[in-house]
Amino acid sequence: MDILVCVKRVPDTSENEIELNRAGNDINRDDLVYSVNEWDNYAVEEALRIVENAGGSVTVVTVGDEEAEEVLRREMAMGADKGLLLCDEAFEGSDGMGLARILKAAVEKGKYDLILTGAQADDGAGQVGGMLAAMLDLPFASLVNLIEVGEGKLKVGREIEGGNQEMNAISLPCVLSIQTGINEPRYVGIRGIRKVASVEIPRLGAGDLGLDAGKVGAAAAKVKRLDYFVPEMGAGAEILEGSTDEIIAKLLELLKAKGGLK
């Protein structure tokens, strides 16, 4: 099974103190430490496990500048067979639809049985996987936390409300967005990083992908970020103490007082 996994280079929140820039329209990106998006890392691990059991190959792809190549090498050190960098000034400022359009063009350059994305990335929109599937006219499932490979199809489990699990059969090829916790991503050692350090990673721009540059990038974006702001600090949480019945009674009183119950 040939699998394509879409990954993204994002600020590492465990290594950075995130602050707004002076204009208030973005975070301050000077001197930030970057890493692969957490959800995408789980998607790569799941792809590797599928290939280990069913055979095939794993390709990782990202849209970004030259520095985004580092996340491809990191995932190749993890075990992915190939990397693909979609790099062009025309791609800068693309919204979710623009990114999906770029990835669609890359998918159509290859032949893949399965396309995986993380459930969401640093902007939290969680939309690229679904848009990509729609553009490719392929079946799609989101928040996938279980995959079992069958003959020409997959059995997938999804997180739904109330902590319940939904099971579905989905035909191949398809697009899945992967939830964290589906597996335990493997450790990437120095030896693996050195092994792929000199591997050539193809770079494709708008022309290589057959894309109209006017349909991607900031000029074509239908969704634009106006500003960022830090929410005002509210009052601290109130800890309810007592027996279960006493806590329930106090909670009901609070909900009534705040207008949550009538």
Q: What is the pTM of this model?
A: 0.85
Three-point CA angle 175, 66, 179, nearest 5°: 30
Task: Please identify which residue in the block is written with the tokens 């050195």.
Answer: 194
What pairs with residue 170 in β-bridges?
Answer: 154
Beta bridge mates, 34? 11
pLDDT score at 259: 77
> 2-220: what CATH class?
alpha beta
pLDDT at 160: 84
Query: Which pLDDT score is estimated for 228?
Result: 78
- In the structure encoding, which two tokens stand for residue 116, read together? 């995986």
Distance CA 156, CA 145 (A): 7
Tell me, what's the pLDDT at 32? Answer: 81
Whole-number Å distance between alpha carbons of 153 and 227: 43
* Pairwise CA distance, residues 180 & 205, whole Å: 31
Low-confidence ranges of the chain (pLDDT < 50): none
Distance of alpha carbon 178 from alpha carbon 5, whole angstroms:
10
| pLDDT value of position 122 | 76
Contact assessment for residue 169 and residue 153, using Cβ atoms and an 8 Å cutoff: yes
**Which of 227, 224, 226, 220 has the alpha carbon at shortest distance from 91?**
220
Q: What is the pLDDT of residues 58-94, one digit of tens each?
A: 999 999 999 999 999 999 999 999 999 999 999 999 9
